[in-house]
Structure 1
Amino acid sequence: MSRPVWLSLLTQHGENPPWLLKYRSSEGFIIGTVALAVFTDMFLYGVIVPVVPFSLQERSHVSEDRVQYWVSVLIAIYGASLLAFSPICGWLADHTSSRRSPLLLGLLALLGATVMLDAGSKISVFVVGRVLQGASAAVVWVVGLALLADTVPQERLGQAMGYVTAGMSLGILVAPLLGGVVFDRAGYNAVFSMAYTLVGLDIILRLLLVEKKVAARWLPDAPKRTENGTSSRGSDLQGEEIVESSYANTSKGGRSAINVEAGLEEDTASPPSPERTPNTPNKRLRSRLPPFLSLLYSRRLLAALFGALIQASLITAFDSVLTIHAASIFHWRSTGAALLFLPLVIPSFLSPLVGYLTDRYGSRYPTAIGFLLACPPFVCLRFVEQNTIRDKVLLCALLALIGFTLVLTFAPIMAEISGVVEDKEKRMLESGQEGYGKGGAYAQAYGLYNMAFAGGCLVGPLLAGFIAKYRGWGTMAWVLGLLSAATSVPSLLFTGGWILRKR
């Protein structure tokens, strides 16, 4: 007796294959689902930004002189929650048999947060809602990126991360504009009607999603994992020794295998040193540590995390200073000042192209060049100081250049995190160790990435705000420029492995 279609959508472990299995487990569908999840997260974060100040006054009866304080607190709570839940989500995701289940739990947390922010009237309810929102964001960014690393081979992962970056940018771009316009025209409830519609669509796609390792039970051409950790597609390889990204049978609780070509050089995080000798105390200690901590021994990963920290700091620095500076110089109100963020965000839609170039030429040079080229436009912001057409055009042009240069860093750094895990596990398997086990370490690595990015979101606005307040706009501009240029040095030296190591 055949099962109803709706039951086939939810069930992935019966004898018969799920409905439309080939399409639901395809790379394109999984990439689209993760990109939509990121867009949904950023949209729900940003759509309430122009609404919260009015909600605090009208619903929570907060006095006007305390609104700015509570808005800042609620923003900080979101960042703190994102920072705190990222390592937890990474550890749990690598110790469960499915990426899909945590993604669905994260979506429930996001739905709960939206209901609280919609129906709540007390500050305490808003606080809990923001905590849930931060926890949901941690799930999306950690588990979602780990799912992409499981699904997409390393040689195409940069482009996949580019689509995720484009989803993030689109959410950042349209959410505050739609939130403000809909709130002014249709009211508070209409804003959250958009949120519920988007969450509903996200629920459908996440329920439809079938992970590759689940699909491997029914698709005969799906790669299988061998005993030594490598993988094979069978006779179609025609004798070539290739180690591909593969998935074990779900009865064995498999996960993605190593995705490197046999004979590829051992790419390391640093030059050879005595600490690499297997018998040293440091090596023995490192092998006993959980992946979340042992990964931090990699200078290559530390360079990527530092890049993510500075990347987020530079982007979010404008949140605390750009609107105020535009209001004081050009006498613009909130709408005009908000439009200044458009030239900063629009270049992010080039992320898929940057990801494609990363897949072809590696992460090192796009990342280093992006940080280095961002320095001049940051420094030149100090010349925007008068209420003239020339200064307005100059400001928009500089913001567009900053957005374009920094977009060179997003997809490469995201792909680099996966590359570090893959190379480290390859070396572990070659030395006879068990690797990171069936759960792997992708989610924990992206948990570290998410922590670094969340830290930048906290540091950036504070750094730029305090410097602008006590030293002026010009000083803030060259400090951010020098910080960006300095970040290009470790990116050049360690991204993709120690630059002086012989290939």
Structure 2
Amino acid sequence: MVCYGIVLPILPGVMEKKYHQTETVTGVLFAMFSAGSILSTPIFGALSDKIGRKTPFLIGLMSLIASTLMFAFAESLWILFVARFAQGVSSAVSWVVGLALIADIYPPERLGTIIGSVVGGNAVGALVGPPIGGILYEHFGYRIPFLVAAGLTAFDLFIRLVFVSDEAIKRHKLNKERLVAKNLKENDKDGSKAAEKEAGRGQSFFKMAFNFKVAILCVTVTLACSGYSALEPTIPLYLERRFDSSSTVISLMFATLTLPAMIMAPLSGKLADKYIGHYRTILIGMIIVVFTYPFVDYVSHLWQTFIIVAVISVGLITMNTPLMAVLTMTIDPNQYNEHNGKITSLFNIAFCLGYFVGPILGTAIMDHASFRWSNIIFALLVAIFTVVFFVTFIKKIFARQQPEQQQQPQHGEEATDQEVLLESVVVSD
């Protein structure tokens, strides 16, 4: 995430001052990231289900190195678009494979907590990236931030090739498969569940996507992500024009947008898993967004803008963190583990669609109306969909929260959570 975050405070100013492009073109450039992710996600999700998780992961890191070097040495606008697209491909691989690994290992009732921890770790990289990019750009020029990012990614690739072992992941996954098989044997007296599991092996990606409840969840993911992505190209321009902010201040604003994720992602995951339930947690996040997003442009002081953006970030992360767990429970309620690559691909497509639509709509509305109207329209969309989400899942929202039940693995069969997460998920690319 350091590498992805470094470009955020740099590109809007470069597009405006060097290439003399409008906010709309800048939004399209940001959206190319999501275009690359959307197109590559189904391919690498299905591929990782067939050949394993590690090889696609390494391909993603190589793609990130190549795209970052393209940014560094680009001399024309079209190369920036290609580089941003390639960044999206690398992001799709790391997220799809990383989330599939987690789904391979952990039961759905724990996914909120685990994914919250991963998102919190990811936020560290996202938090560090924009300030590094802004400070390096301000003091050393355009090229140095990208060379630093490429070097960090190359170091990560080296560590994974030389030092990272798959044994802890394999032990953890095998333990989960044994528990699922044991539960199936004990609770499937008439063989119906085994037949259901066998029938589900051939379930296509598109059949999953067009299930009504799955579609509602995917749109919710898209809205949460578009809330972040709409601000990425618009808030730097707003800060420059309204407060005459430097690239360092803009970098700190991006840090403010990501900092709450370090705290709220693990917290909202744990709240969803253990206390108030996944659906209620999502609903709370949506309500926070609706009542804060429109007011970014209504404050008169810079410090007030920082506070509003931080609260918006809390709402968006609370809304988004439990969604992967809910999506998994909706598609694979019996934890058969047959489609984890496809499920995470579906999540990532919805995620990337938000990052594709958000910058285009945000910059287009800002270009033709104002930054204020961009925020108001997004808040209205979330408000409308909050009602849709509430009506669709009303029984789940008001259902009594069941205490978390965990089956204890036999001694020696399970690696620690920390060991598995450190070996399976990128939090600093």
- TM-score tier (shorter): 0.7 to 0.9
**Is 1:45 paired with 2:4?**
yes
Which letter does structure 2 place at the counterpart of 1:76?
A
Instruction: State how many pairs are aligned.
Output: 388
How far did residue 402 of structure 1 move? 1.0
234, 239, 252: which one pairs with 1:326? 239
Over 3 Å counting, the alpha-carbon distance change for 1:130 and 1:313 in structure 2 is: closer
86, 90, 95: which one pairs with 2:41? 86
For 1:295, the equivalent position in structure 2 comes to 208
Over 3 Å counting, the alpha-carbon distance change for 1:379 and 1:186 in structure 2 is: closer
Residues 382 and 475 in structure 1, CA contact (< 8 A), matched pair in contact too: no
**Is 1:413 paired with 2:313?**
no
Uncovered stretches (5+) of structure 1, i.e. residues with no partner: 1-41, 233-241, 245-260, 264-277, 279-285, 427-434
For 2:282, the equivalent position in structure 1 comes to 367
206, 226, 230: which one pairs with 2:180? 230
After TM superposition, list the pairs within 5 Å mapping 1:351-500 onto structure 2. 351-361=265-275, 362-381=277-296, 383-384=298-299, 388=300, 391-423=301-333, 440-494=338-392
365-374 or 100-109, larger mean C-alpha shift: 100-109
Structure 2 CA distance, aligned partners of 1:381 and 1:115?
A: 35
Over 3 Å counting, the alpha-carbon distance change for 1:482 and 1:212 in structure 2 is: same
How far did residue 366 of structure 1 move? 0.6
Structure 2 CA distance, aligned partners of 1:336 and 1:178?
A: 12
For 1:16, the equivalent position in structure 2 comes to none
Over 3 Å counting, the alpha-carbon distance change for 1:133 and 1:471 in structure 2 is: closer
For 1:139, the equivalent position in structure 2 comes to 93
Structure 2 CA distance, aligned partners of 1:415 and 1:443?
A: 14
Structure 2 CA distance, aligned partners of 1:334 and 1:225?
A: 50
Over 3 Å counting, the alpha-carbon distance change for 1:343 and 1:120 in structure 2 is: closer
For 1:28, the equivalent position in structure 2 comes to none
For residue 332 of structure 2, give the secondary structure of its aligned residue in structure 1.
Answer: helix
For 2:166, the equivalent position in structure 1 comes to 210
Over 3 Å counting, the alpha-carbon distance change for 1:116 and 1:394 in structure 2 is: closer
Structure 1 CA distance, aligned partners of 2:278 and 2:143?
A: 44
Pairwise CA RMSD = 3.7
For residue 245 of structure 2, give the secondary structure of its aligned residue in structure 1.
Answer: coil
Structure 1 CA distance, aligned partners of 2:372 and 2:365?
A: 9
42, 45, 50: which one pairs with 1:95? 50
Which letter does structure 1 place at the counterpart of 2:323?
I
Residues 367 and 408 in structure 1, CA contact (< 8 A), matched pair in contact too: yes
Structure 2 CA distance, aligned partners of 1:473 and 1:51?
A: 19
Structure 1 CA distance, aligned partners of 2:328 and 2:135?
A: 40
Structure 1 CA distance, aligned partners of 2:288 and 2:86?
A: 37
For 1:266, the equivalent position in structure 2 comes to none
Structure 1 CA distance, aligned partners of 2:332 and 2:387?
A: 24
For residue 332 of structure 1, give the secondary structure of its aligned residue in structure 2.
Answer: coil
Which letter does structure 2 place at the counterpart of 1:164?
V
Structure 2 CA distance, aligned partners of 1:88 and 1:397?
A: 40
Residues 113 and 133 in structure 1, CA contact (< 8 A), matched pair in contact too: yes
How far did residue 89 of structure 1 move? 1.3
Uncovered stretches (5+) of structure 2, i.e. residues with no partner: 189-195, 403-429
Q: Computing the radius of gyration over CA atoms, which structure comes out larger, 1 or 2? A: 1
For 1:181, the equivalent position in structure 2 comes to 135
- Report Cα offsets for 1:262-308 as digits up to 9, x if no partner: 69xxxxxxxxxxxxxx9xxxxxxx97974311212433322221111
Structure 2 CA distance, aligned partners of 1:116 and 1:477?
A: 33
- Report Cα offsets for 1:285-344 as digits up to 9, x if no partner: x97974311212433322221111100111122123323333333333443344333332
Structure 1 CA distance, aligned partners of 2:41 and 2:295?
A: 36
Q: Normalization by structure 1: what TM-score?
A: 0.67
Q: Relative contact order (C-alpha < 8 Å, sep 6+): which is higher?
A: 2
* Structure (1 or 2) with the greater helix fraction: 2
After TM superposition, list the pairs within 5 Å mapping 1:147-186 onto structure 2. 147-186=101-140
Which letter does structure 1 place at the counterpart of 2:86?
L
Structure 2 CA distance, aligned partners of 1:90 and 1:307?
A: 21
Structure 2 CA distance, aligned partners of 1:401 and 1:314?
A: 12
For residue 95 of structure 1, give the secondary structure of its aligned residue in structure 2.
Answer: helix
Over 3 Å counting, the alpha-carbon distance change for 1:460 and 1:190 in structure 2 is: closer
Over 3 Å counting, the alpha-carbon distance change for 1:50 and 1:344 in structure 2 is: closer
Over 3 Å counting, the alpha-carbon distance change for 1:472 and 1:78 in structure 2 is: closer
Residues 299 and 494 in structure 1, CA contact (< 8 A), matched pair in contact too: no
Residues 227 and 358 in structure 2, CA contact (< 8 A), matched pair in contact too: yes
Over 3 Å counting, the alpha-carbon distance change for 1:418 and 1:459 in structure 2 is: same
Over 3 Å counting, the alpha-carbon distance change for 1:213 and 1:312 in structure 2 is: closer
Over 3 Å counting, the alpha-carbon distance change for 1:189 and 1:64 in structure 2 is: closer
- Report Cα offsets for 1:156-188 as digits up to 9, x if no partner: 221211122123322332212212222343455
How far did residue 455 of structure 1 move? 1.4
Residues 100 and 211 in structure 1, CA contact (< 8 A), matched pair in contact too: no
Which letter does structure 1 place at the counterpart of 2:273?
D
Residues 363 and 496 in structure 1, CA contact (< 8 A), matched pair in contact too: no
For 2:260, the equivalent position in structure 1 comes to 347
